[in-house]
Amino acid sequence: MKNMWAPWRITYIQESSQENGCFLCNAFQENQDKKHLVIYRGKECFCILNRYPYNSGHLMITSNKHKADISDLTDEEMLEIMKLTRDMKETLMKIMKPEGFNIGINLGKPAGAGLVGHFHLHIVPRWGGDTNFMPVISDVKVIPQSLEDLHKEFKKYW
C-alpha cells in the first residue's frame, strides 16, 4: 500500500480529539468565526464549513441551541435553517459552480451521523466525476481548496 501524506490534517485530528463538549456549541459560543470556520450567524441558526469535508465546499447548517433531533426544533428554527440552506446553496453556486448537490440530515449513528447530539444539515456540492479511485482504493479524499481560502470566499457574500 502506498501512502499519501497530508500533514495539514494533523492539526484537525489533534484539535478534534482534544475538544471538550460539542464542537458546534463551542463554535457558536466562542465567537471566533475565522478559527471555527463559521460563515454566518443568524437569530436561530448558523452555518459552518465542515473541517472534514466529503467534498470542497461542504457546509453544515445547525441550530444555535444544542438540540439532538429535528423533532426538537421550533418552527422558527426550522424555517431559518431551510432558508439558510437555500441561500448557502445559491452562494455555493456563485463561488464554486457545482453541477449538483447532496443536501441531507443524518439522524443517529446507524444513519451515518458523526455528531449525534447536535442536529445539523449537510450541503455538499457535487461535480461530474468528483469521485475517483482515491477514496475507493485508498480511502483518501483529495480536497483541492483549503478551508481557510474557502472561508474567505464565503465572507465576501456573508
Asked if residue 60 has pLDDT above 90, the reply is yes
Structural domain span for residue 135: 9-155
Asked if residue 50 has pLDDT above 80, the reply is yes
Is 120 tagged catalytic?
yes
Average pLDDT value over all residues in the chain: 85
- More confident site: 145 or 93: 93
pLDDT score for 120 = 95
Q: Is 121 annotated as a binding residue?
A: no
Mean pLDDT of 23-52: 93
Look at residues 23, 4, 1, 3 and name the one whose alpha carbon lies nearest to residue 12: 23
Instruction: Report yes or no on 79 lying in a domain.
Output: yes
Q: Is 113 annotated as a binding residue?
A: yes
**Residues ≥6 apart with Cβ < 8 Å to 36:** 26, 27, 30, 48
> CATH number, domain at 126?
3.30.428.10
Q: Are 88 and 22 in contact (CB under 8 A)?
A: no
pLDDT score for 82 = 98
Q: Is 31 annotated as a binding residue?
A: no
Among 36, 118, 120, 151, the one annotated catalytic: 120
Q: Is 116 annotated as a binding residue?
A: yes
- The per-residue pLDDT for range 97-148, each reduced to its tens digit, is 999 999 999 888 887 778 888 999 999 999 988 875 455 445 666 677 888 8
What is the rounded CA–CA span in Å between residue 12 and residue 49?
13
Q: Is 128 annotated as a binding residue?
A: no
Instruction: Report yes or no on 4 lying in a domain.
Output: no
Instruction: Report yes or no on 118 lying in a domain.
Output: yes
What percentage of the chain has pLDDT greater than the value 70? 81
Q: Are 42 and 86 in contact (CB under 8 A)?
A: no
DSSP string, the chain: ------TTHHHHHHHHHH--S-HHHHHHHH--HHHHTEEEE-SSEEEEE-SS-SSTT-EEEEESS---SGGGS-HHHHHHHHHHHHHHHHHHHHHH--SEEEEE---SGGGT-S--SS-EEEEEEE-TT---HIIIIIS-----S-HHHHHHHHHTT-
Instruction: Report yes or no on 3 lying in a domain.
Output: no
Lookup: cell for 39: 460563515
Asked if residue 84 has pLDDT above 60, the reply is yes
Indicate the number of domains in the chain. 1
Instruction: Report yes or no on 2 lying in a domain.
Output: no
Q: Are 69 and 107 in contact (CB under 8 A)?
A: yes
Instruction: Report yes or no on 45 lying in a domain.
Output: yes
pLDDT score for 66 = 95
